[in-house]
Amino acid sequence: MLVRDAMSTVILTIGPTHTLRQAARLMSARRVGSAVVLDPDTCGLGILTERDILNALGAGLSPDEEAAHEHTTTDVVFAAPDWTLDEAANAMVRGGFRHLIVLDGQDPVGVVSVRDIIGCWTRGRIHVPAEQAAIV
């Protein structure tokens, strides 16, 4: 099975000056665990995850004052749609992260998470009713 089969095509893109609260609200509304941070000044892509927000709050930082770019991972490992799920999982384990931005050429086309990969592997091994599979 390939990354394209598991990835979410719902990509939340935010700017570097969004506050952590704004990012959290958007992530919650879209039901995603990460946001792609597009910085037009550096022409770079980064990723802000729910864990990044949690770490900032746990450190006592204000979600209304902290900007996304201050907590964005910019040394991102990108996946390709034609990677196997094993390749994506190995990249996540090596890097110690739970989300990969999926690029087709230079364009982000999705995000694949550990949950997405496990969901595919699980559906491939046991019978999961269709209504429950949509929740995974």
Domain count within the chain: 1
Q: How far apart are the C-alpha atoms of 69 and 15, rounded to whole Å?
A: 8
- As given in the structure block, the two tokens for residue 11 are 């990509």
**Domain of residue 89, CATH code:** 3.10.580.10
Number of Cβ within a 10 Å radius of residue 75 = 6
Q: Which domain holds residue 127?
A: 3-133
pLDDT one digit per residue (tens) for the chain, 136 residues: 999 999 999 899 999 999 999 999 999 999 999 999 998 887 689 999 999 999 999 999 999 999 999 999 988 899 999 999 999 999 999 999 999 999 998 889 999 999 999 999 887 665 555 555 555 4
pTM (predicted TM-score): 0.82
